[in-house]
Amino acid sequence: MSNKNKDLIPQVLTVLFIILVIIYFTINAQNNMGNRGISFGFGFLSQESSFDIAFSLIDYDGSYSYARAFLVGLLNTILVSVIGIFFATILGVTVGISRLSQNYLISKAAEWYVEIFRNIPLILQIFFWYFAALRALPLTIDSINFYDISFLNVKGWYVPRFIWTNFSLFFYSIVTAVILIFFLSKYAKKQRDDFGKQIPTLYISLGILLGLPFLTFLLGGVTLTFKIPELTQLSKTIYVYQGGVTIIPELISLALALSMYTATFIAENVRAGILGVNKGQKEAAASIGLTKGQILKLVVMPQALRIIIPPTTNQYLNLTKNSSLAAAIAYPDIVLVFAGTALMQTGRAIEIISITMLTYLSLSLSISLFMNWYNKKMAIKEK
Amino acid sequence: MMKSIKTWILVVLASSLLVACGQGGGGSGSKKSKTLDNTKKAGFVKCGVSQGLPGFSNADASGNWTGIDVDVCRAVAAAVLGDADKVKYTPLSAKERFTALTSGEVDVLSRNTTWTLSRDADIGLTFVGVNFYDGQGFMVRKNSGINSVNDFKDGISACTNTGTTTELNMRDFFNSKNIKYEPIAFEKADEVVQAYDAGRCDTYTTDKSGLAAQRTKLSAPDDHKVLPETISKEPLGPVVRQGDSVWEDIVRWSLNVMIEAEEYGVNSSNASSLKDSENPAIKRLVGAEGELGAAFGLDNEWSLRIIEQVGNYGEIYKKHIADTNILPNRGPNQLWTKGGILYVPPAR
């Protein structure tokens, strides 16, 4: 028997064993469900859900199907994850760089922030921000007023609603601007590489990004008006703002808690990344006359990113998965809406939990794929 | 493709059912009861209760469970094992409760659970009776100027628990009144109370008994009131797994004898002295006549033990619900002979 076969046999046996175990569990589950009179199927997804959800990015009420309720939950999960990732990244990078600051006060403050927030369980932080916010915010009648257009109170943050005409034209103008900027940066890079000419890309890009949509207002008949939330009295002491867009306190506190918590880990990644770049690199860059900003942007960051990206991907995944703690404070994410209410209503535990698990798996894999792509782009290119 | 996905999905939760299988259940309709045998072998009744609802199932500071839902399990333990204290309580959230029962983690679910058609018929459960007739209501702040559900207007925000019938009733109610509302549903009751207390929502809706019980947890209970209207029927009662009819009968009749005992004036202190009563119905209740226990494979004093160790329905209601000031007035939960709707089939 050749060596190759010797290696192969244990592997084949292992795979066979795993398959047998899976088959055994499957048959067992089917038998048990049969015995207990539990049916299996996904037909319930098209049934009317008959429960309402407080916060939804798409049209929804109880007359829609369970599948639609699933979609509402999924979008809410994605929304809070995207907001969380955005702020966690900004905060994390800022704190990470601050920890390396020469300024004692700044670096100590950053260190304290990291040590406090990463060592308290996330669920407690979520409760803290939620109930602290609820207790601290005023009732609707005494709302905190931002220039009479936006209002903050215990029931949420009320902002004006945008009312567009010819929105599609405006949208396409932004798409065009982005495409133009893409080609501009290619052109600028070529100019720099071939002739050593520096083109102020940033200012031109900003000009295009603001100018083009602005033109559609002047020439294309695009208009934008605002509907400012109005205070309505419901009873002697109950008031509510209506007409605007409501950002519910559950979303605010969940996003806040997730970003504050995850930022601590990202900050440490950033610090490690920057410290991981050889000191000689910075000195060499300084010796050829680059400014401090240029050193950071052109020499340190490209190398640091290679160290920062892989562990930060993990943090993005964690944040997305941690968003499932939303159920504790009534933010209608996929776990609360689908694996909570819908599961209760239908009693289809196996189906619903499986769908929810597969959904998180797909979300996480998508983030991984994107970050791997970005990491490859940033990796050292052998020339 | 579909088949293979289905297979994989089944695998995911198969292990929990596998464990359950090892613990029995899944019995057929024969006289033998696997659940009864396993309970006798284990020496305790596995009982699913709430995570804390005063009057129904609530743990005190030293971890002792009390309440009328708890007493159903205690009655079963007294009947089956001879000792009402031989119960193992598992606190369950609204979401977990049915899975815990169908998977065999608990054998009796006595957790203020509403009896509905879909729950009874669709998900492998059987409701054995009603130990509390309830209905959904609303709680508001006294100073809100709201005196009836007709005062609700568009934009009202309502807090409640997720995974319960209250979410559905709330929608039916507001839809029928054509009112736009903001539903805020929490997983645990404690968070609902806190959010309502903080002013996040204008009204708190759940079963009226629940409202009365949770009101005691608010920072200023006297500033709140329960509106007079009842928007739904909520018959709450114990649940067992489908398929073990002997066990089902034991739980059903453990509940029924407590109600019947009140009807015939048999209580925990006079039960044993009524063995030579003139009334054959009373004699049957205290095990002095007939062979009622044999039908479930129990001895003849099973009902006497329930009445002696747990009490009759009137006693447990007084102890847990009336004396704790949750709902001093028995309302529909009064015997049919006294104007209520408690009416159980005769134990004979």
Residues B13-33: tens digit of each pLDDT: 444 444 444 444 333 334 678
Q: Confirm whether A7 is domain-assigned.
A: no
Residue whose structure tokens are 């506190």:
A253
pLDDT tens, B60-115? 888 899 999 999 999 999 999 999 999 999 999 887 888 899 888 999 999 989 99
Please enumerate in sequence order all residues whose Cβ is within 8 A of that of A140, keeping only pairs 6 or more positions apart, or say none: A153, A154, A155, A231, A238, A239, A240, A241
**Residue A132, pLDDT score:** 85
Cβ separation B12–A357 shorter than 8 A: yes
Which member of B7, B99, B159 has the closest CB to residue A349? B99
Cβ separation B241–A36 shorter than 8 A: yes
Which member of A54, A135, A351 has the closest CB to residue B182? A54
**Residue A144, pLDDT score:** 85
- Tell me the three state secondary structure of residue B119: helix
d(CA B244, CA A184): 75
Q: Confirm whether A193 is domain-assigned.
A: no
Q: Confirm whether A71 is domain-assigned.
A: yes
- Chain A residues with CB-CB distance to B163 below 8 A: 340-341, 343-344
pLDDT tens, B2-12? 444 554 444 44
- Report the DSSP beta bridge partners of residue B239: B109, B127
d(CA A365, CA B97): 32
Q: Confirm whether A304 is domain-assigned.
A: yes
Which member of B17, B156, B199 has the closest CB to residue A234? B156
A339 half-sphere exposure, CB direction, 13 A CA radius: 18
User: How many structural domains is chain A composed of?
Assistant: 1
What's A120's domain CATH number?
Answer: 1.10.3720.10
Q: Confirm whether A1 is domain-assigned.
A: no
Type and span of the H or E element at B58 = strand B58-59
Q: Confirm whether A47 is domain-assigned.
A: no
C-beta separation of B139 from B211 below 8 A:
yes
d(CA B36, CA A280): 77
* The token pair that represents A313 in the structure block: 């991907």
- By CA distance, what is B186's nearest residue in A? A330
- pTM score, whole prediction: 0.78
- By CA distance, what is B175's nearest residue in A? A62
Q: Rounding to the nearest 10 degrees, give the CA dihedral for residues B79, B82, B83, B88.
A: -60
**Residue A194, pLDDT score:** 85
Q: Of B219, B212, B186, nearest to B55 (Cα)?
A: B212
Which member of A135, A249, A341 has the closest CB to residue B162? A341
Number of other residues whose CB lies within 10 A of the CB of residue B211: 22
- By CA distance, what is B15's nearest residue in A? A25
Which domains does chain B show, CATH number per domain?
27-133+236-326 (3.40.190.10), 136-232 (3.40.190.10)
d(CA B91, CA B53): 11
Residue whose structure tokens are 């359950």:
B20
Cβ separation B157–A349 shorter than 8 A: no
Cα maximum dimension of chain A = 90
Ordered per-residue pLDDT tens for chain A, 383 residues? 566 777 788 888 999 999 999 899 888 888 877 776 667 778 889 888 888 888 888 889 888 999 999 999 999 999 999 999 999 999 999 999 899 888 999 999 999 999 999 999 999 999 999 998 888 888 888 888 888 888 888 888 888 888 877 778 888 888 888 898 888 888 888 888 888 777 777 888 888 888 887 887 777 777 778 888 888 888 888 888 888 888 999 999 999 999 999 999 999 999 999 999 888 998 999 999 888 888 888 888 888 888 898 899 999 999 999 999 988 898 999 999 999 888 888 878 888 999 999 999 999 999 999 988 888 887 776 55
**Residue B27, pLDDT score:** 38
Q: Confirm whether A87 is domain-assigned.
A: yes
Structural domain for A296, as ranges: 66-160+228-378
Residue B62 CA: distances (Å) to CA of B59, B310, B323: 8, 20, 20
Q: Confirm whether A188 is domain-assigned.
A: no
Cβ separation B163–A341 shorter than 8 A: yes
A338 half-sphere exposure, CB direction, 13 A CA radius: 30
Question: How far is the alpha carbon of A368 from chain B, nearest alpha carbon, in Å?
Answer: 23
